[in-house]
Copies of this chain bind each other. A is one copy, B any other.
Amino acid sequence: MRSSEHGALTKNQELVYDALTDAKGPLSAYAILDGLREHGIRAPLQVYRALDKLLEFGLVHRLESLNSFVACSHPECDSRETMVFTICEKCGKVSELADKAIAGQLQSLADLDHFALKAATVELRGFCQACQTASTQ
């Protein structure tokens, strides 16, 4: 029982993962904690430890600019692929885009600088389609 099977999660990992998938949006570690108090989660560390594993398994991504976490929306996410997130500054909606071209371009840029690329964080801020049309008033 290792990383590849979703069924292999421990109780706490399962709780945290379910909280994130149910949320359908990013949650901070403390928001997760609050939502899971009834399920026996009492301390931040229980959440952070579960998150560490979920990140390692590639089931969850961390949004650096929000200090929060989302369940990966790509069922068979390869974990190490470069992900691009769009973050709506109005409604908070987050979308996860997988784009090979960006990944390649970043790799080229790193190569130019003789930088050995291990992971990339790409977070775009702006307004989602819904919030744009809404503000066309």
Contact = CB atoms under 8 A, between A and B. Distances in A.
A32 B2 CA distance: 42
Interface stretch (A14-22, A34-42, A48-56, A125-133): A125-133
A19 to B, nearest CB: 23
Interface residues of A, number: 33
A116 B132 contact: yes
Nearest to A85: B121
A64 to B, nearest CB: 4
Contact of A124 (B64, B89, B101, B106): B106
Given A64-B121, A64-B123, A102 B97 contact: no
Contact of A97 (B89, B109, B123): B109
Contact of A113 (B64, B95, B121, B125): B95
Contacts of A89: 118
A97 B113 contact: yes
Nearest to A109: B99
A23 interface: no
A137 interface: no
Contacts of A64: 64-65, 121, 123
Shortest 4 CB-CB distances between A and B: which pairs?
Answer: A114-B129, A64-B64, A118-B126, A64-B65
